[in-house]
Amino acid sequence: MNQETKATIILVLTTVFAGLGWIFSKQAIAGLPPFAFISIRFLAASIFLLPFCYKQLFTLSSTQIRNAASVGIIMSCALLTWVKAISVTDTLAEGAFISSLAMLFAPLVGWVLFKQKPIRMFWISLPFAVAGLAFLSLSNGYHHSPSQIWFLISAIFLAFHFNFNAKYAQSIPSLTLACIQLSVVGVVAGVASVSLETWPEQIGNITWFWLACSTIIATSLRYVMQTIGQKLTSSGNAAIIMILEPVWASALSVLFYGDDMPVGKVIGCGLILWSLFVYRGGAKLLERKRLNQ
């Protein structure tokens, strides 16, 4: 198995775990304040990873630690606005599709920040992805809501996080980078929770179950796999694959909450999958043509 194939498999699995994370989060914040949920989830995830990377932490330079922490602050902004949107939205599917715009913004942000121009097939596949997102988001007509603004702000922060995470993943071990980021998110969210939220007197066992699923599957495992996947491929390739996240979130919301899946949303999912096929297949053809010249 070559490096590109391995990266594709890892990132596709990452999108599955990310899609599950939407369900876990929605269930958990039914019994926990949103910022408190993020704080506990990410602090627990960082503690879960610590035994596997604590030795590497002592080998990092002050610059590496500062870089990892700064990426964690960007992630904090993205996740606090995201969980705020989750807490007020009526449909997870719409939020997932708006958030996935981050993966479309990411190569453009990388181009501006790091002069990493997206490859030609990215531009060819991008219109299909945009059209797919439009079908998914507008199939029932456009209805403005506060959650849409929060999701959009979160998407912008995520695009910046994606690029900086990819940049520093080249020089910092994956587990260590993930552990530092998750701990920073936990601390920032904890400060926000103490300042702005009131905790319930009792928290049910089912809430702790959903929190555990969010922590282990959708946080620890998901972010480590994303970091490893990004290290093995380009930002543009990873960004296109990560567009699959709203497809999984939408399908799971249908299973868990009985959300409608009209024809427009089915078409949207098909266009997103087609954009992935165009990008992946086209990139391979171009590479093969280049090698044969």
Q: What residues contact residue 293 under an 8 Å CB cut-off, 6+ apart?
A: none
- Rounded to an integer, the average pLDDT of 34-53 is 89
What's the average model confidence in pLDDT over 185-198?
94
Alpha helices (runs of H) in 139-244, residue ranges in sequence order: 146-168, 174-196, 205-215, 222-232, 235-242
pLDDT for res 284: 62
pLDDT of residue 100: 73
User: Residues near 244 by Cβ (< 8 Å), separated by ≥ 6?
Assistant: 12, 15, 272, 273, 276
**pTM (two decimals):** 0.78
pLDDT of 203: 87
Name, in order, each residue with C-beta under 8 angstroms of 226's C-beta and a sequence gap of 6 or more. Answer: 11, 14, 165, 242
Confidence of residue 52 (pLDDT cuts 50, 70, 90): confident
The pLDDT value recorded for residue 81 is: 94
User: From the CB of residue 204, how many other CB atoms can be counted at a distance below 10 Å?
Assistant: 12
pLDDT score for 145:
64
Structure tokens at 6: 């391995």
Confidence of residue 288 (pLDDT cuts 50, 70, 90): low
Q: What is the mean pLDDT of residues 213-224?
A: 85
What angle do the packed helices 34-57 and 205-215 form, to 10 degrees? Answer: 40
Q: With beta carbons less than 8 A apart as the criterion, state whether 189 and 79 touch.
A: yes
pLDDT tops 70 at residue 290? no
What pLDDT is recorded for position 141? Answer: 58
Q: How many residues does the chain have?
A: 293
